[in-house]
Amino acid sequence: MNPIQTTHRASIHDRDNFWAAEAREIHWESPFSQVLDFSKPPFAKWFVGGHTNLCFNAVDRWLDKRGDEPALVWVSTEVDQEVTYTTRALYQEVNAVAAMLVEQGVKQGDRVLIYMPMVPEAVFAMLACARLGAIHSVVFGGFASVNLAQRIDDASPKVIICADAGSRAGKVTPYKPLLDKAISLSTRPPEHVIVVNRGLFDYEPVSGRDLDYATLRAKHEGASVPVTWLESSAPSYVLYTSGTTGKPKGVQRDTGGYAVALASSMKRIFNGAPGDTYLCTSDIGWVVGHSYIVYGPLIAGQTTILYEGTPVRPDGGILWSLVERFKVNTMFSAPTAIRVLKKQDPALLKKYDLSTLRALYMAGEPLDEPTAQWIAEGLGKPIIDNYWQTETGWPILAAQPGIAPVPTKFGSPSFPVYGFDVRVLDEQTGQDLGPDQKGVVAIVPPLPPGAMTTIWGDDKRFVETYFTSIPGRQVYSTFDWGLVDDEGYWFILGRTDDVINVAGHRLGTREIEESINSHPAVAECAVVGIADQLKGQVAVGFAVLKDPSQLVDAAASMKLEGAIMKVVDEQLGPVARPARVRFVTTLPKTRSGKVLRRAIVAVCEGRDPGDLTTIEDPSALEQIKDSL
């Protein structure tokens, strides 16, 4: 048993002592009287009776030690701007926004919806809400009006903070019209909207409702707003899961448990220390952005880089240039970003001084082995795959170099993270499975600190959604397939709804994708199951090539398709061979990098793909259609 597994065992079998020790990583205004209250399973309350505040731990606590050191660095290749905020400057901005909100009547427990791109004002707003004990709900910028209206109705915000517009790959996306329409559709409109005017889109303020951020900011220059100390279990924010249909599902997070989990993970998982610089390329609209752009690095006393831009603008070396310029120690990105870079000049990986970078962490979707190997060889740095969900708030599975360095395996997110009692279970019987047996990845409650505490306003839905799908056991289902090898390394095989049934054979699309991705000509691919009258379903692959110019004619296309199918045959057997492999120049993805597989299936089966407002490039689905 290695030190990571020993630590994990202690966290499960001696929870109170383990987490009491981890809780010393943050400031408590008043101590907790009980580490864990699990009297009403599956609901867990951590650090009962203790009072703390996320904003204080992220900002105020570091004023004496790091007041003049950089806390937040904003770099935008979209508008060619760059601003560095010291801890003291960040404190001043957050207090000014907190004063703005107080003026609008916002108090503890009120909701504030934030509809913003990757700009500093979004971070100020999040921290200001935390300072007041208000519950923020960040909605990914660019969400369509209907989706936004659903979230407004569910959260019932007192105030909404938005920007006039965002920009992506040089293309401006107006936010204000989308918000105005959403509010007109809403049954619970806010009293006020505070607008950050970036000068990207001309808009008409709504009289009596809309307020100008800059005007309010000037009015509250130099404000000092007292910290509201919250009982540990008080909600800190609500984050709606992407892709939700019908009534949105608001993941509710606590305050004390979240602060402890993040502070602990910054040391144990990310191997960091105060004064480090952290670059996460996610978006504040997603959980990774909440945990590891805003709260985690700042709570750990680190400089966090807020990047507005793409991995290829102005060129495919932009991320590595940021590492060099700001002496980044830890970087966190998504496999999709790296797959995009596989199509760029590989010399860009060697152009910059990356000597300060200790490791590149990857999460957000499965990291296939070919992509992991490519970037590891290109950078000469450890690649640390980690697996988690919006619901858990921080990694479930990961190598944990802050505990001990251990060898990693490409394609594996390594070991369970302390606090998560993770199992592989038989979906039919609920029994624990042994090494190399495929089953559903589940967590035996209590969920650890930092994980969701319930669904906003709907405890019953929380239980029914997450804790009832495994027969005979009240365990949290991740709805992912996985297995553990005989050395204890974990592998995630894809969503339970990504398993297809071909002539009675159950196949995971993730496994087929990994096989196709291993062909040297392929940059990335997506495999989906399409309805078939004879076989029930057949697998169809859509591949993006590193060099599309090799498809000079139909004969070349068929030859390459045959070669790719031969690779699948050899690795997985003929039963897993896709019916076809089609070639496209891009896959339909959300702006967070998730492939819209259900939309691909709908197009292939001639059905309406549904709402596509979060799609990065709408033409990608047209390519799918044309390739058929």
User: What secondary structure does DSSP assign to 303-360, as a single string?
Assistant: EEEEEES-TTSS-TTHHHHHHHHHT-SEEEE-HHHHHHHTTS-GGGGTSS--TT--EE
Claim to verify: residue 468 and residue 564 sit in the same structural domain? no
Looking at the structure, tell me whether residues 476 and 507 fall in a common domain. Answer: no
Dihedral sign of CA atoms 593, 597, 600, 606 in order:
negative
Sequence-distant (≥ 6) Cβ neighbours of residue 238 within 8 angstroms: 111, 135, 136, 137, 155, 250, 251, 252, 253, 456
Q: Clarify whether residues 191 and 266 are in a common domain.
A: yes
- Full domain range(s) for residue 536: 503-627
Low-confidence winner among 380-384, 421-425, 485-489, 603-607 (lowest mean pLDDT): 603-607
Mean pLDDT across the chain, nearest whole number?
93
Residue 496 lies in a domain: no
pLDDT at 535 over 80: no
- At 244 the pLDDT is 38
Number of other CB atoms surrounding residue 86 within 10 Å: 17
| Same domain? 403 vs 526 | no
Q: How confident is the model at residue 505 (pLDDT cuts 50, 70, 90)?
A: low
Q: Where are the beta strands (DSSP E) in 412-509?
A: 415-416, 422-425, 439-443, 454-455, 476-484, 490-495, 499-502, 505-508
CA dihedral defined by 282, 288, 293, 295, rounded to 10 degrees? 170
Q: Is residue 492 part of a domain?
A: no
Q: What is the rounded CA–CA span in Å between residue 76 and residue 112?
A: 25
Same domain for 202 and 70: yes
What pLDDT shows up at residue 141? 83
* Residue 402, pLDDT score: 97
Q: What is the pLDDT of residue 143?
A: 75
Same domain, 284 and 329: yes
Q: What is the CATH number for 512?
A: 3.30.300.30
User: Residue 314 pLDDT > 70, yes or no?
Assistant: yes
Strands 51-52 and 230-231: antiparallel
Instruction: Give the whole-angstrom CA distance, residue 305 versus residue 229.
Output: 28
Q: What percent of the chain has pLDDT over 70?
A: 97
396-405: pLDDT as tens digits: 999 999 999 9
Task: Tell me: pLDDT of 513 over 60.
Answer: yes
Is the separation of the CB atoms in 116 and 122 below 8 Å? yes
pLDDT score, position 245:
43
pLDDT digits (tens, 9 = 90+) for 240-291: 985 334 578 999 999 999 999 999 999 999 999 999 999 999 999 999 999 9
Predicted local distance difference test score (pLDDT) of residue 243: 39
Task: Answer with the residue of higher pLDDT: 180 or 515.
Answer: 180
Tell me if 60 is assigned to some domain: yes
Residue 201 sits in the same domain as residue 336: yes
pLDDT for 475: 98
Six token digits for residue 235: 């909600």
Based on the structure, what is the number of domains in the chain?
2
The whole-number pLDDT of residue 130 equals 98
- Locate tokens 């490409």: which residue? 410
Provide mean pLDDT across the span 143-157.
Answer: 90
Question: Region 138-155: what's the mean pLDDT?
Answer: 87
Mean pLDDT is lowest, of 82-96, 298-312, 598-612, for 598-612
The residue written with tokens 């950078």 in the block is: 379
| Closest-CA residue to 58 (of 72, 74, 46) | 72
Same domain, 455 and 533: no
Tens-place pLDDT, residues 543-602: 999 998 888 888 999 999 999 999 988 877 777 889 999 999 999 987 767 788 888 998
Task: Please identify which residue in the block is written with the tokens 């079998």.
Answer: 13
Residue 161: give its domain's CATH number.
3.40.50.12780
Residue with token string 């703390």 = 52
Whether 533 shows a pLDDT value over 80: the answer reads no
Q: Do residues 431 and 537 both lie within one domain?
A: no
**Residue carrying the six token digits 């991320």:** 319
- Collapse the DSSP code of 601 into the 3-class scheme (helix H, G, I; strand E, B; otherwise coil) and give the result: helix
